[in-house]
Amino acid sequence: MPTKSVVVGSAVGLHARPAALISEVAGDLDAEVTLAMPGGEPVDASSALLIMTLGAKKGDTVEVASEDQGALDKIAALVEQDLDA
């Protein structure tokens, strides 16, 4: 499965608001997208609760994976943004 490593851009990390925004977009996609900390178990990007369990903080690297390159790029771009601004 294609993956892309991105750096978390939100000041609060992948906490409530950023996780909700990412999961909302991921849920609207026609492809499965997962997020994982390097070496960790991937979680479904359409679940805000599962995203928050990653414990990703600002500056942490997160691996985004999907069979759909467009979906992968869209979620990766969101992870890199400061969604809590």
**Which amino acids are annotated catalytic?**
15
- Determine contact, residues 37/54, Cβ cutoff 8 Å: yes
For residues 4 and 65, what is the distance between their CA atoms, to the nearest angstrom?
A: 6
